Amino acid sequence: MKSRKKWFDDRLLILIISMIGVFYSNSISAQDLTKSKTVSLFSTNEVLHLTIRGDIKGVLKDVSDDREEHPAVVEYVQNEDTIRLNVKMQARGNFRRSSENCNFPPLSLDFKKKETEKTLFEGINKIKLVTHCISGSKQFQQYVIEEYLVYRTYNIITDTSYHARLAWITYYDTISEKVVQESYSILIEPDKVLEERLGIIEFEKKYVMQEKTRYDHAAKLSVFQYMIGNTDWAVTTLHNIKLFTADTTQPAYAIPYDFDWSGIINAMYAKPLPRFGTSSVTERIFRGFCRPLDEFKTTFEFYNSKKAEIYSLYQDFDLLKESEKKRIIQYLDDFYKIIGNDRLIKVEFLDACIKGN
């Protein structure tokens, strides 16, 4: 009788352990949210062609802290019809807004909500444009394309990320009645659109430790920033990071943006942060919190599962120069070599990680 009871007790214990394992597994896999609603603008990766008409030169000069919004018109072709939308345009940003650093600052476009109904910009209120910084430079055009591909790369890692759309924009100055610039820009998914897509809200609180955000998501984030060679981010100070949550009683998702200072791009203006003691932004520094080796390896296995898709993104992107493709693939090769070598994993991750509380 005792052996039969022991058999049932053992079976019950196994069942409980299995259920805990399934629950834990589901909790981990649910760390990343999946898209539920995508606005038209971000429903395709085709390059968008736009014309922006307005006092372009006036906007480019108006880069002070008390800058104004300038009226402009955004035009594009939809079903052989030319759609015209009234907007307010303004220079934005910090480093790039300074005329000492860029002669073409990042911009924001503020649409009239009623006008955007049944257009490509339906659901969009205010949107950021990442511009080329220096006019007349093919290399700076490549930087825009490469930053766009970084956004796309992180979309491969997790859909709990900002979507982006590459656009070829003709800037027509209505004062001089001339085209003053034609260049690539990145349209970044607005926060409100991301919130609606993923069913989350922004958690505007500083000094949240990275290790206190969504655990598995933070692991992917920190390894991603290492992969692209980006140290220009911090969860605690919300530097190039925003926090979002679906439930304020649960840890928030840390979602990154602004990747132009990363080593994978290696922009000529990007300088390494002095406190890391590196001589170039191409030198990788891991800025994630410490985890057990087996957890790091689980994250690395995930990145290995995405390797072919990431490489194809760059290799198949026709707008990227062949020399840039070669450089970037080599940079990614170095990352995959590191995460496949136990000695290098110890040096680059286990010894360099941030110790938690």
pLDDT (tens digit per residue) in 17-33: 444 443 443 344 456 88
Residues 243-274 as b/e (b if ≥16 CB within 10 A, e otherwise) read bbbeeeeebbbbbbbbbbbbbbbbbeebebee
Q: Which two tokens stand for residue 105?
A: 């600052």
Distances (CA, A) of 244 to 201, 202, 218: 5, 4, 13
Task: Give the span between the Cα atoms of 239 and 246, in whole angstroms.
Answer: 21
Q: 201 in helix, strand or coil?
A: strand
pLDDT (tens digit per residue) in 92-149: 988 889 888 999 999 999 999 899 999 999 999 999 999 999 999 999 999 999 999 9
What are the residue boundaries of the structural domains of the chain, listed by start? 40-192, 200-350
Task: Give the span between the Cα atoms of 302 and 160, in whole angstroms.
Answer: 16
Dihedral sign for Cα 139, 144, 149, 154, please: positive
Phi and psi at residue 211, to the nearest 5°:
-70, -10
Residue type at position 252: A
301 burial class (0-12, 13-18, 19+ CB within 10 angstroms)? exposed
Residue that is written with structure tokens 């993923």 in the block: 198
Q: 171 in helix, strand or coil?
A: strand
Q: 240 and 233 in contact (C-beta within 8 Å)? A: yes
| Cut 0.85: pTM above it | yes
Q: What is the mean pLDDT of residues 194-208?
A: 93
Give percent of the chain above pLDDT 90: 82
Residue type at position 233: W
Task: Give the span between the Cα atoms of 269 and 183, in whole angstroms.
Answer: 19
Task: Give the span between the Cα atoms of 96 and 289, in whole angstroms.
Answer: 30
pLDDT (tens digit per residue) in 34-61: 766 789 999 999 999 999 999 999 999 9
What value, to the nearest 5°, has the Cα angle with vertex 230 and ends 105 and 244?
80
Q: 310 and 153 in contact (C-beta within 8 Å)? A: yes
What value, to the nearest 5°, has the Cα angle with vertex 159 and ends 245 and 164?
105
Task: Give the span between the Cα atoms of 50 and 145, in whole angstroms.
Answer: 16
Question: Which of 16-20, 230-234, 239-243 is predicted least confidently?
Answer: 16-20
Task: Give the span between the Cα atoms of 188 and 124, in whole angstroms.
Answer: 11
Q: Which two tokens stand for residue 354?
A: 């941030």
